[in-house]
Amino acid sequence: MLDPANPDRPIAGAIALVTGASRGIGLAIARKLGQMGVRVAICARDAAKLSTAVESLQREGIETLGITADVRRPEEINSLLQETRSKFGPLDILVNNAGVGRFGPFLEFDETDWDDILDTNLKGVFLLIRAVAPEMIRRRTGHIINIASLAGKNAFAGGAVYCASKWGLLGLTYCMAEDLRAHGIRVSAVCPGSVATEFSPHPGMDSSKMLQPEDVAHAVAALVTQEPQSFISEILLRPTQKP
């Protein structure tokens, strides 16, 4: 996928799908990839916010396709991928960013909460990779990047269900990387700490000292510009100052 003849934009012309990209981290990743010359498909559940994000990226000259989709639903994933292939072609890059977070004592959560968080943060990633991988295997190329969290490595009070989803996501990432590496496909995880977004307002923290969405986007850019003989399996991302 890298173009040695174009060192300034080595992945120009590649095709990416970024989930949960109507705002925050997903939107920053889509913007960064677009600035690198990538054609970007983005999806989210909220059609109005997705439309605003598409317009913003297109105003910056980024070739963007917006598709409303719920990654918990296989039929919507199939439509998402079909439309992306029809408009842009086969995927070179998949960034699984869609996620939800709810926090509090686990005794206050019910089965519906569990299903919503695990289906979005973990099952949706499984469904998307399962749908995308066969074509990447045939082409013997591809980057799959799962946006995980330091919550997938650290326990804290009130984080039981969210942490379970992210610990599971890391296990899924590591195993899929082993399944797919022989086919030229690199599967990686980015694990940020607290990021200053609407997703996690973190009352009492100084947002200027927190990670920014662009920091996560920078990590994704590093992953997709690795030389072909190696891959970074995981990036742990922390702010330089504790907020």
How far is residue 92's CA from residue 227's CA, in Å, rounded to a whole number? Answer: 15
Find, among 56, 52, 57, the residue nearest to 68 by Cα: 52
Strand partners for 234: 189
Could you confirm whether 174 is annotated as catalytic? no
Q: Is 29 helix (H, G, I), strand (E, B) or coil?
A: helix
How far is residue 80's CA from residue 43's CA, in Å, rounded to a whole number? Answer: 8
How far is residue 158's CA from residue 103's CA, in Å, rounded to a whole number? Answer: 5
**Torsions phi, psi for 50 (to 5 deg):** -65, -45
How far is residue 44's CA from residue 200's CA, in Å, rounded to a whole number? Answer: 18
- Find the angle CA(29)-CA(35)-CA(37) to the nearest 5 degrees: 110
Q: From the candidates 136, 159, 162, 213, which is the catalytic residue?
A: 162
* Cα 143 → chain centroid: 11
The answer to whether 10 and 235 are in contact (CB under 8 A) is no
Q: Is 75 helix (H, G, I), strand (E, B) or coil?
A: helix
Residues annotated as catalytic are 162
